[in-house]
Structure 1
């Protein structure tokens, strides 16, 4: 467990240089063969960016779209699993950054699916990611917008056939950040699946989580989000960047026959949350030190 925690912490630190990474990380477009995660849940993203497909009795649900240029790759992965694009009925989103929502417009067009997100997330997707409320907001960033996005309430359920996916608002990384939870069953065993959104407290130059009169509860909301993820029933953790949770390494261990199955870990969400808590504390301490330095001048 300690090794798992350190690995996730290092992955989060690697993402902290968000500007350069978002523009140039080759793994974000590197092809990844699609595979079954567990039961009716499949991985259809790239090697460095997650997209999850959930099959129900009445169609498919896709969570996240990765980068705009990855749309064809995701569609190819869906078809490689034997599904039709028109079977995708809903597209959900964790947060409205180009590396997770960039291809949603193209995917919605090609599948005819309805796009759904949290209230703040829906607004950001319709703005094409140019949301001034976003800690990482940059005038140069953005992605193809979606004209209409349906809102899912906190604790709301997206029901497609026999699959129920619950939205858990986890604002912090972005105002609209959302984690998604559902159950998948395989060989008579049902497990709790959690696609937990990013918890990295990254921000553009000049942004402060603290001392923001316009958003006095931003830090409290962030801390509450971390608590929410820590408390979720969680057997299999999936994250927007596989590296954040060593997801592909755990899948490789599962496929190699490792015992116990490294993909199933009821403590994974708690570890992920605590690393997020440590990252937020470090960010707030840095802001406090900067404020103290300015006051001393």
Structure 2
């Protein structure tokens, strides 16, 4: 039976009649397990929550008109994400939008199941939407040769750089941040606790990783390097009081989360220099990789 046929048998309720849910089949099970250490669903600041894992962030924004989810982790993580949403007192049907940061299996693998279970629309850049519909990265992705496919996403809304998505009293702005993938998108909104407000950014990955044999220094890949440079400039200039990243350990989010469990004041996530530090870290990594590829070691 084709995937479409299996999905038809599964229906809106989830699992197929034989108990196998094609949208929840594990991807890279042993490898992905290192990202899925459980953590309690937690309010980070104001209307902003994390409902994911120790190694994969999934964010939730509460608005007056429903919920906005950011990212979907891997398919096998979806039941835990949904339990975390419910544990906060919310209903899955309250999720109206699911925002995609990047079309890789570790962040987009669970989108199809989450969209089915919540009825939400997945929102992504045009380049990401093309990958999400296929469930497989294209040849232009530096990691394409080593990436497993993931369940395709059907219900999509495409937004451009600078687009504003409004739900209730909250506006989320899309910021194109390509490089790690051509379709990477970061998302920014304003969150308040009483009189204190903060600019929150959920940033896509900036890591210049690639499949074996791929060289960023190849002239044919100059556009990818230029995309990284543009993204560095974008994130460096953005208002950014609280930074959440797709992989929390890439920005110190894992450390901040652990501290938040001990005390909320002062809030360890509040750091107006976080986005700039995030950029510096990966700009150096890209420069180091380019130098190594060109045979010019750098200190």
TM over 0.5: yes
Q: Structure 2 vs 1, CA of residues 237 and 105 (structure 1 numbering), >3 Å: closer, same or farther?
A: same
SS of the equivalent of 1:124 reads helix
The answer to whether residue 232 in structure 2 is matched with residue 226 in structure 1 is yes
For residues 157 and 123 of structure 1, the distance between their equivalents in structure 2, rounded to whole angstroms, comes to 21
1:1-297 to structure 2, matched below 5 A, reads 24-138=31-145, 141-213=148-220, 216-257=222-263, 260-289=266-295
Distance 1:147 1:90 in 2: 14
Conserved 8 A contact 2:104-2:147: no
Deviation of 1:218 after TM superposition, in Å, equals 2.1
Superposition RMSD on alpha carbons, in Å? 1.8
- Secondary structure in 2 aligned to 1:289? coil
What residue ranges of structure 1 are gaps of 5+ in the alignment?
A: 1-20, 291-297
Contact 1:29 1:70 in 2 (8 A): yes
- Structure 1 residue 95 displacement after superposition: 0.6
Q: Mean alpha-carbon deviation: is it higher for 128-137 or for 24-33? A: 24-33
Q: What CA deviation, in whole Å up to 9, does each residue of 1:9-39 have, x standing for no partner?
A: xxxxxxxxxxxx9951533222211010111
Q: Which moved more, 1:146-155 or 1:38-47?
A: 146-155
Per the TM alignment, residue 217 of structure 1 is displaced from its structure 2 partner at its CA by 2.4
- Count of residue correspondences: 269
Cα deviation per residue 1:143-193 (whole Å; 9 max; x = unaligned)? 101123211100111111111111111111111111111011112211000
Secondary structure of the corresponding residue to residue 173 of structure 1: coil
Contact kept, 8 Å, 1:168 with 1:179, in 2: the verdict is yes
Work out the CA distance in 2 between the residues paired with 1:218 and 1:261: 36
Q: Which runs of 5+ in 2 are unaligned?
A: 1-27
Q: Is the 8 A contact 1:134 1:174 kept in 2?
A: yes
Query: TM-score, with normalisation over the residues of structure 1?
Result: 0.86
Higher relative contact order (CA 8 A, sep 6+): 1
Instruction: Indicate the SS of the match to 1:138.
Output: helix
**Distance in 1 separating the partners of 2:155 and 2:146:** 22
Higher mean Cα deviation, 147-156 or 169-178? Answer: 147-156
Q: 1:70-110 CA deviation, whole Å, 9 max, x = no partner?
A: 01110110010000000100001111111111100000000
How high is the TM-score relative to the length of structure 2? 0.85
